[in-house]
Structures are given as structure tokens and as C-alpha cells.
Structure 1
Amino acid sequence: MSKLSSIKQAANQLGVSVSTLRRWDETGVLVAQRTPKGHRRYDLSKINPNLTRNKVEQQRKTIAYARVSSHDQKPDLQRQIEILELYCSAQGWSFEVISDLGSGMNYHKKGLKRLLDDILDNKIDRLVLTHKDRLLRFGAELVFALCEARQVEVVIINQG
């Protein structure tokens, strides 16, 4: 009889996150066995060896991006992050938040560079912003065109 592993043990063995295993269970990619109390258990000996990081790399993610221009606006950055988290959670999306502190005209922000790299590497399925100008003050249309070319859905919560 095979030993069943907890979700955390299975996630570590497969090199994926616990939330990824939960999502795979819900979508039928990798269905877990359940204990009488409803906990997920995995028989690692029966798992397809191709179902590891490669599968995760094929799955594109949702990125919630927040930015403010100066240190004085840090409370606003935190509010943006909270709004993004609430919105994405309400939609049922698994997501990651990237935040930046820097001018909307500065193209050398660490988070923005990471975002652009992930878009170019086809790792992003959806980009969520509180306002259009939170991405860049000028030139956001270029990033949106890049998103369109890579089939990245752009969601702007506050259009006004």
C-alpha cells in the first residue's frame, strides 16, 4: 500500500505551491484523495512525473500591479494593494501583487521591469490595475499593446 502525502509534502515534492495543488484539484488536473475530515492527500507514486514545474510554467498568472510616485504616498500604495487583493479574491483568481514606488515617467522601476519581462515571457494571463495611470503616467498604451499582442487581459478597476 502506498503512503499518502499531505498537500504540503506533495507541493514540496512536485516543486509547486499549495495553492497550485488546490487549483489542480478543483480543475481536475490532479485530483486528491480526501480524508474523512476533507483534507487532501496525494499518492506520489501514482503522479505523472511530467506534472511538475513544467505544468506550472505553462499556466499563466494574474498580476495585480500597484504604484505610487513618492514615499509620502505609501499609505495610498497600501490602499491600492488592498483594493487589488479584494477585487482579485472576489473574482476567484489566484494572483500575485507587484508594487512599485517611483515616478510614473520612470521606466526603470524594478516591479515594472519584472512585469514587462513576465509579459514578454508569456507568463501572464491577466493584469489588474486600480487606475490606468498606476502603470505609467505616459506610455501605458505601449504596454497595453504589448499585452494585447501576448493575449494578456487588462482589467482596470476604476475606469473614471
Structure 2
Amino acid sequence: MKKLTITEAAKIKGVSASTLRRWEAEGKLIPERTANGHRRYDLAHLLGLKREGALTVAYARVSSHNQKDDLDRQKQVLELFCASQGWQFQIIEDIGSGVNYSKGGLQHLIRAIADNQVERLVLTHKDRLLRFGSELIFNLCEQFGTEVVIINQTENTSCDEELAKDLLEIITVVSARLNGSRDPKNKRIVEELKAIAGKL
């Protein structure tokens, strides 16, 4: 893998070359040296280096406003867990579907991870992050050296109703995009799928 010069490394980190030299003096980032004494930086190591003040971020989510009590319970569990570990932390919360990738809190979390501001991500359950595709965020965490902590590794059986709502949302989006969605046959298929999802 190509090694980066100090100018290239500073540009990737969004800091000055003097900041990289200071990090080296503090032992936070030790570059390799060429035969001529020039600094060379490893990209993977550079991406994993956290910014000063990087925090533990606890993420809580529910699907709708009428689940506010559940959101409060999630936040309480996250606060107690993080405090018991002695971590400095902040909580990011969202109200929105588990299949919606555009939620404000989720977007803020993704930017913070990519900006090396998140030391670790804490969740009560895996599906609190996203119903489908949470592995993408976990992969992003791995690339940027963010630890992922899931407090309860078992399936969250209390979220069957929420899963049904997410499935209905997917069905609605798909049905809206069907060519000839006014076709009685397509309408019947969509209604049958909604009925099945409603029984979950």
C-alpha cells in the first residue's frame, strides 16, 4: 500500500502538517521514515486515529412518536451502561423507520464516524441502528477504528409491531414503483402482502 507524505496525510485528516508533527511528539501517530528522513504515513493507521475529544456515542431509535416511552427506556439503559464503564458519552436519538437511511440522527452519526470523532458506538440492540443494512454502518466503524458495543445480543422480540410497520413501508414503496400499479392484479398482490405483514 502506498505511503502518504505529510502533506497528503494532513489533507486527509483535515489538519495542518504542524498538527501531525505535534501528534508525533505526543506519541499519538508515529510515521515511518524514508532513507532520507522524510515522514511516510500508513493510510489505514491514519484513518483509525481519533480526533482529540473523541467520544462514546450511544444511539437510540424508535419508529414513531407514540413509542416515546420506549425511546426513554433505551436512553436510560444506554446512560447507565456507559456510565458504569466510565466512558464520556453523548446520546444520539432518532424517531423514524428502521428502513429510513435519511434520519437526522443517523446522518449525524455517520458523519461523526467518518470524521474520526467516535471512539465507540453503543446500541441496546442491533436493530436499533437500522432494520436492514446495519452491517454497512458496522463496516464503516471497522474502517475508521470505531468499536461497536451491543448491550443485548439477543433478538429484540418486543419489536414485532415495529418490524411489521417497516415491512408495510417497504411494500408501499415497492407498490408505488410498480409499472402498471393501477392494474387490479398488482393491487391485489400488494393488499395480500400488507395483510400478511399485518399479522406479524
Fold in common (TM above 0.5) = yes
Tell me the distance in 1 between the aligned counterparts of 2:90 and 2:127: 20
Q: Which runs of 4+ in 1 moved over 6 A?
A: none
Please name the residue that 1:158 is paired with. Answer: 152
1:132 lines up with 2:158 in the alignment: no
Identity of aligned residues (%): 61
Correspondence for 1:142 among 136, 139, 143: 136
CA drift at 1:68: 0.2
Tell me the distance in 2 between the aligned counterparts of 1:61 and 1:91: 13
CA drift at 1:139: 0.5
Tell me the distance in 2 between the aligned counterparts of 1:152 and 1:63: 10
1:99 lines up with 2:100 in the alignment: no
Aligned partner of residue 122 in structure 2, secondary structure? strand
CA drift at 1:60: 1.4
The residue correspondences of 1:63-78 to structure 2 (distance < 5 A) are 63-78=57-72
Q: Indicate the structure whose relative CO is greater, using CA pairs within 8 Å and at least 6 residues apart.
A: 1
CA drift at 1:59: 2.8
Aligned partner of residue 128 in structure 1, secondary structure? strand
Please name the residue that 1:80 is paired with. Answer: 74
Structure with more of its chain in strand, by fraction: 1
User: For each residue in 1:107-138, what CA deviation from the matched residue of structure 2 results, as whole angstroms up to 9, or x when unmatched?
Assistant: 11110000000001111010000000000000
| C-alpha contact (below 8 Å) 2:98/2:130 kept by paired residues | yes
User: For each residue in 1:76-122, what CA deviation from the matched residue of structure 2 results, as whole angstroms up to 9, or x when unmatched?
Assistant: 00000000000000000010000000000001111000000000111
TM-score by length of 2: 0.51
Tell me the distance in 2 between the aligned counterparts of 1:59 and 1:70: 33
The RMSD of aligned alpha carbons is 1.2
Structure 1 stretches of 5 or more lacking a match? Answer: 1-55
Amino acid at match of 1:89: A
Structure with more of its chain in helix, by fraction: 2
